[in-house]
Amino acid sequence: MTVQPVSAASLPLDQAAVRAGELRDLLHHHAHLYYVLDAPALPDAEYDRLFQELQAIEAAHPSLLTPDSPTQRVGGAVLEGFEPVRHVVPMLSIRTETDTEASGAENFDARVRRELDLGEHAAPVEYAAELKFDGLAINLRYEHGVLVQAATRGNGETGEDVTQNVRTIKQIPLRLRGDGAQAAVLEVRGEVYMRRDDFEALNERQRAANEKTFVNPRNTAAGAIRQLDPVLVRQRPLSFFAYGIGETRGWDIPPTHSAMLDALQAYGLPVNADRAVVRGAEGLVKFHREIGEKRDTLPFDIDGVVYKVNSRELQRRLGFVSREPRWAVAHKYPAQEQVTRLDRIEIQVGRTGKLTPVAKLEPVFVGGTTVSNATLHNLFEMRRKGIRVGDQVIIRRAGDVIPEVVGKVDTRRASYVPNFRMPRHCPICGSEVVREKGGIDHRCSGGIFCPAQRKQAMLHFAGRRAMDIEGLGDKLVDQLVDGGIVTSLPGLYKLGVAKLTALERMGDRSALNLIEALEKSKHTTLARFLFALGIRQVGETTAKDLAKHFGNLESLMNATEEQLLAVKDVGPIVAKSIAAFFAEAHNREVVAQLLAAGVSFPESDGAAAAPAGPQPLAGKTLVLTGTLPTLSRDEAKELIEAAGGKVSGSVSKKTSYVIAGEEAGSKLDKARELGVTILDEAGLQALLAASD
Ligand SMILES: NC(=O)c1ccc[n+]([C@@H]2O[C@H](COP(=O)([O-])OP(=O)(O)OC[C@H]3O[C@@H](n4cnc5c(N)ncnc54)[C@H](O)[C@@H]3O)[C@@H](O)[C@H]2O)c1
Ligand SMILES: [Zn+2]
């Protein structure tokens, strides 16, 4: 790879010609890997840099512009095995504003005003602003309301028929509702994508099976849609958002882009709620900033926002250039994948003793922050990716997922670098490192004698979703464990002000606050307590199920594997792990001491027990779907249960209300179908507030 920073515009013609040729070859090669094989070898940010370099050369030397230049065409091609589909209305690309500052929006607005000949005093232009989803474009053709064909963008003129695969996406209606069914032809365009949690879960499964993991949701989604086997597609959960139209016949196209999206939504198509109609550059800048702030909390990847001139009449006047409309632009955010050098590998020891190789990196700006550590997951995954110290590796940081090394850039090594090996002894406590036969994880066998495991166990215990001890963070835990001040979980409750204020950076005020937080944490629920204990295989959900099933700690601690298997969703591995945990005298002792310290759980999470406050939702069953603006799923559930209501996972005639947030999926459709009352978060709050 020859990514050299040259000031393209300043090259003399002959050198510029050589460089343009190189760039074209390089871009063609990588476009093929990306669009045709769904297996890019470069992060998008690198590709974009090369692309812009070529654009700059072509702008400085128009004679070097060739019709087959990657800057002149839409990137894809039609894969063998699929029927080609000719698009009546071509599927174009969007011009990208890579300037991630406010000026990206200002440039676009200025260009639009210039091209529309709007004077200084003319009113601000109205724009539809929306998210730029990072997936792949799909054209859905509805005839008289029935989905008859789904096609990829391909090279923009001709795409691939992927109807069978698209039918597996539950969010895509096979039949349109309302007026949508009247149109003779209505082509809906949108993005097929994979949610981040679906992607993480898929990779977790791959890892557990010691199989190849996927690099990012975008390429996984693109690969899934272009699978020849629909059964494989079904194993890769995909989602969809509509954002435009193609050919239409017998349909009155609404006069603005935003009204058109409203219509599509009314027909039953998923349209993302994070969209707005704004005026002028100012409105665009504000939208870009607001979305930038919430980007990490969105359940899917976006690589920017898209601005579109809202009026279709103005769109028509602005028209198109070679591969993109003049009335739309994509305004990017910092890339979520970047290349950097892997300097060293360190080993981190987790709560259960698992050894994780962690990459120490040359600091790199990725996904909006500077990253210098990233997980390599496990030895086998690292070997499969062929990663060695000194390599140029690809780092991904998206949402609140910890940064990870997803691959490496193909570079030749200057000299031989030995393969990384796991240490034979725990780097923290020196105990032997073991690996179960056939397993993928290496573990420290030191158990409670390993300070690293003790620290992690303590942090987990204190976590927000566990005992929720505010102020007990990793710096403090380091001091407590390293100084031998606290040697086990119950020891936390024996901390006094004197011991705490003797620590570094700990004043009277913080010490008192911590003690108060410790006191507060004692009043908890059985489910939280079980989760906090850090029993291997027992996550939050399993802890809740266990609490519900057994109702009290005693019966759970004495349950046999067989009795544990009777709990919903508890399989043999989980049952075994729980039984083994409570069989150990040390663990029973820890539990006894915690109870003696005052930890109590009068109510066992939603199970029996006398209700405390008013019960406005008594006897009602609610279903939650989508992302609510302020409440998390857990919080909403807790509030509903505290108000006497039940939360169910599926909609039926017995459902009292469906609480729908952004991106509500099939449950919302089902609710509409059954005529169940649909409320948003504000509606839910109103229900909760009605105390009689
Ligand atoms: N890594 C690589 O090697 C490599 C190679 C080729 C291309 N790429 C990447 O592909 C991208 C360029 O791709 P492109 O030419 O396909 O165009 P684009 O992705 O920049 O823009 C057009 C596409 O945006 C999508 N889109 C998402 N939200 C949208 C919305 N709200 N409205 C309209 N469209 C929306 C549509 O799929 C549409 O086809 C760049 O990000 C580039 O880095 C990477
Ligand atoms: Zn150890």
559-to-27, 581, 588 alpha-carbon distances in Å: 62, 11, 13
Judge if the beta carbon of residue 44 lies within 6 A of ligand 1: yes
Q: Which of 332, 351, 375 is the last residue of a domain?
A: 332
Query: What's phi and psi for 366, nearest 5 deg?
Result: -145, 135
Atom of ligand 1 nearest to the CA of 46: 1
H-helix or E-strand spanning residue 581: helix 572-583
Q: Which of 17-21, 126-130, 232-236, 505-509 has the lowest mean pLDDT?
A: 232-236
Distances (CA, A) of 604 to 140, 499, 544, 549, 584: 49, 34, 9, 10, 24
Q: What is the mean pLDDT of the chain?
A: 91
| Cβ(96) – ligand 1 distance below 6 Å | yes
Reduced to 3 states, what is the DSSP secondary structure of residue 613?
coil
Residue range 316-360, pLDDT digits in tens: 999 998 789 999 999 999 999 999 999 999 999 998 899 999 999
CATH of the domain at 567: 1.10.150.20
Mean pLDDT, residues 432-439: 91
Q: How far is the CA of 133 from the centre of ligand 1 (A)?
A: 9
Phi, psi of 51 (to 5 degrees): -60, -45
At what angle are helices 280-294 and 103-115 packed, to 10 degrees? 150
Residues 202 and 304 in one domain: yes
**Rg of the chain over CA atoms, in angstroms?**
29
- Does residue 246 share a domain with residue 131? yes
The per-residue pLDDT for 7 is: 65
pLDDT at 612: 53
Nearest-angstrom CA–CA distance, 342 and 3: 19
CATH number at residue 644: 3.40.50.10190
Q: From the CA of 26, which ligand is nearest? A: 1
Q: Distance from the CA of 255 to the center of ligand 1, in angstroms?
A: 26
pLDDT category of residue 611 using cuts at 50, 70 and 90: very low
My answer on whether 300 and 166 are in the same domain is yes
Q: For 376-407, how does the pLDDT look when each residue is reduced to its tens digit (9 = 90+)?
A: 999 999 999 999 999 999 999 998 789 999 99
Find the mean pLDDT for residues 224-231.
87
At residue 8, the pLDDT reads 63
User: How many domains would you assign to the chain?
Assistant: 6
Q: Provide the whole-model pTM.
A: 0.79
Average pLDDT over residues 189-217: 93
Predicted confidence (pLDDT) per residue in 663-673, tens digit: 787 888 888 88
How far, in Å, CA of 375 to CA of 378, rounded?
A: 8
Same domain, yes or no: 250 and 386: no
CB count in 10 Å sphere of residue 202: 19
pLDDT exceeds cutoff 50 at 677: yes
Residue set of the binding site for NAD(+): 44-48, 93-94, 130, 153, 191, 308, 332
320: helix, strand or coil: strand
The tokens for 370 are 């500077």
Same domain, residue pair 159 and 283:
yes
Question: Which residues carry a binding-site annotation?
Answer: 44-48, 93-94, 130, 153, 191, 308, 332, 426, 429, 444, 450
Which tens digits make up the pLDDT trace of 550-560? 999 999 999 99
Picking from 309, 301, 221, 297, the residue whose alpha carbon sits closest to that of residue 260 is 309
153 lines ligand 1 (CB under 6 A): yes
Q: Does residue 626 surpass a pLDDT of 90? A: no
Residue 232 pLDDT > 90: no
Rounded to whole angstroms, the Cα distance separating 659 from 39 reads 39
Which of 533, 473, 544 minimizes the C-alpha distance to 506?
Answer: 473
Q: Determine whether 646 is an active site residue.
A: no
The answer to whether residue 88 sits within a structural domain is: no
SS3 at position 249: strand
Across 147-161, 229-243, 256-270, least confident range = 229-243
Query: What pLDDT does 473 receive?
Result: 93
Ligand 1 pocket, 94 CB below 6 A? yes
Residue 232 makes CB contacts below 8 A (sequence gap 6+) with 224
Give the tens place of pLDDT for each residue, 284-324: 999 999 999 999 999 999 999 999 999 999 999 999 987 89
pLDDT of residue 100: 66
pLDDT beyond 80 at 57? yes
Supply the CATH number for residue 32's domain.
1.10.287.610
Ligand closest to CA 432: 2
User: From CA 268, how far away is CA 175, in angstroms rounded?
Assistant: 9
CB atoms within 10 A of CB 94: 17
pLDDT grade, residue 277 (50/70/90)?
very high
pLDDT at 101: 77
- Residue 431 located in a structural domain: no
Both 658 and 673 in one domain: the answer is yes
Strand partners, 359: 345, 374
- Of 132, 385, 637, 646, the catalytic one is 132
Q: Which of 51, 26, 673, 11 is nearest to 323 (CA)?
A: 51
Structure tokens at 283: 């409105």
145 within a domain of the structure (yes/no)? yes
**CB-based burial label for 356 (10 Å; 0-12, 13-18, 19+):** middle
The mean per-residue pLDDT over the stretch 187-210 comes to: 93
- 85 burial type by CB count under 10 A (0-12 exposed, 13-18 middle, 19+ buried): buried
* Final residue belonging to a domain, choices 521, 553, 572: 521
589 and 541 within one domain: yes
CB contact at 8 A, 276 and 269 = no
Q: Domain for residue 161, yes or no?
A: yes
Which residues are bridge partners to 356 per DSSP? 348
Atom of ligand 1 nearest to the CA of 153: 39
pLDDT recorded at residue 609: 39
Same domain, 223 and 328: yes
Q: Domain end: 393, 412, 431, which one?
A: 412
Indicate if 150 and 198 belong to the same structural domain.
yes
Query: Has residue 272 been placed in a domain?
Result: yes
Q: How confident is the model at residue 689 (pLDDT cuts 50, 70, 90)?
A: confident
Using alpha carbons, select from 359, 350, 353 the residue that is nearest to residue 381: 359
Establish if 437 belongs to a structural domain.
no
Ligand 1, atom 36, lies closest to the CA of 137
For residue 587, being part of any structural domain is answered with yes
End-to-end CA distance of the chain: 70
In a shared domain, residues 190 and 280: yes
Report pLDDT digits (tens) over 2-45. 344 456 668 899 999 999 999 999 999 999 999 988 888 899 99
H or E, element range at 413 = none
Residue 106 lies in a domain: yes
**Which of 342-346, 474-478, 540-544 has the largest mean confidence?**
342-346
Contact 478 CB / ligand 1 (< 6 Å): no
For residue 33, the ligand 1 atom closest to its alpha carbon is: 3
Report residues near ion ligand 2: CB below 5 Å. 426, 428-429, 431, 444, 446, 450
For ligand 1, say whether the CB of 529 is within 6 Å of any of its atoms. no
- Ligand 1 atom nearest the C-alpha of 323 is 15
Determine which residue's CA is closest to atom 7 belonging to ligand 1: 31
Same domain, 171 and 302: yes
Q: Which ligand has an atom closest to residue 244 CA?
A: 1
SS3 per residue for 183-227: CCEEEEEEEEECCHHHHHHHHHHHHHCCCCCCCCHHHHHHHHHCC
Closest ligand 1 atom, CA of 91?
A: 39
Residues belonging to the binding site for Zn(2+) are 426, 429, 444, 450
Residues 22 and 60 in one domain: yes
CA angle 420, 424, 425 (to 5 degrees): 120
What single-letter amino acid sits at 409?
V
Q: 652: domain range?
A: 621-689
Q: Mean pLDDT, to the nearest integer, of 187-205?
A: 94
